[in-house]
């Protein structure tokens, strides 16, 4: 009897210690073996969270000297701005400009390899944009007897920019149409082969050998 009474007292004391008091934060559940605390595994159908709006993707490693040379050859105005920031010891701004320029440099190099003609069109547009900025500056500072001539050159430059941009949009629309047609064709083929696809998936889930992809 005494032994039973002692066990009841011990159990009651242990229960009182485990029971959270008012205002106490609940104890976290002990993670299962192999699980990370506070990070439950994804459920079926869950997708990783999308990056926040306005969030930047990490910039791949790059060679700052190589980017500077590229800016000097392709974006002299940006290169001049970079030199001003470096002389003012504004390291964060310098790093930001180099990072952004490294992305543009990589994209243009990829385009040059993939589509040489498209690369030439982009380079021509960039040249016209730089020229347009210079002409606008000249027009603002031109003497009255020269202002009309410089303004006319600026209008011609902007007209060429417009034409190139419209040509690019036409090509982009054509590419989108081609991709849509390809997707529609693929969708039709999958619908036509539904039974075969479902059977392959069943065999795959049951651990049977499947030669073709799902």
| pTM of the predicted model over 0.85 | no
> Which pLDDT does position 185 carry in this prediction?
94
**Domain boundaries in the chain?**
59-114, 117-207
Torsion 193-198-48-60 (CA) sign: negative
Mind listing the pLDDT tens digit for each residue in 174-201? 999 999 999 999 999 999 999 999 999 9
Mind listing the pLDDT tens digit for each residue in 135-146? 999 999 999 999
The two most distant CA atoms of the chain are separated, in Å, by: 118
The CA distances from residue 100 to 68, 111, 118, 129, 139, in Å, are: 12, 17, 21, 18, 30
Mind listing the pLDDT tens digit for each residue in 110-126? 988 988 988 899 889 99
Region 34-53: what's the mean pLDDT?
Answer: 44
Give CA–CA dist 13/119, Å, rounded. 78
More confident: 20 or 176 = 176
User: Please, which pLDDT band fits residue 40 given cuts at 50, 70 and 90?
Assistant: very low
């Amino acid at each position: 009897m005494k032994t039973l009474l002692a066990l009841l007292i011990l159990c009651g004391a242990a229960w009182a210690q485990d029971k959270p008091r008012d205002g106490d934060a609940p104890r976290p559940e002990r993670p299962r073996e192999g699980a990370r605390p506070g990070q439950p595994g994804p459920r079926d159908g869950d997708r990783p969270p999308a990056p926040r709006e306005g969030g930047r993707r990490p910039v791949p490693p790059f060679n700052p000297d190589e980017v500077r040379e590229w800016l000097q050859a392709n974006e002299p105005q940006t290169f001049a701005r970079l030199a001003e920031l470096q002389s003012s010891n504004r390291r964060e701004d310098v790093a930001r400009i180099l990072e952004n320029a490294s992305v543009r440099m990589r994209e243009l190099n990829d385009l040059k390899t993939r589509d040489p003609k498209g690369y030439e069109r982009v380079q021509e547009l960039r040249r016209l944009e730089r020229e347009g900025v210079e002409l606008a500056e000249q027009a603002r500072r031109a003497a009255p007897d020269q202002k009309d001539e410089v303004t006319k050159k600026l209008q011609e430059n902007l007209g060429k920019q417009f034409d190139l941009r419209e040509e690019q949009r036409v090509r982009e629309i054509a590419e989108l149409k081609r991709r849509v047609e390809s997707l529609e064709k693929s969708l039709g083929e999958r619908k036509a082969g539904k039974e075969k696809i479902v059977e392959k998936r069943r065999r795959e889930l049951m651990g049977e050998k499947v030669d073709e992809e799902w």
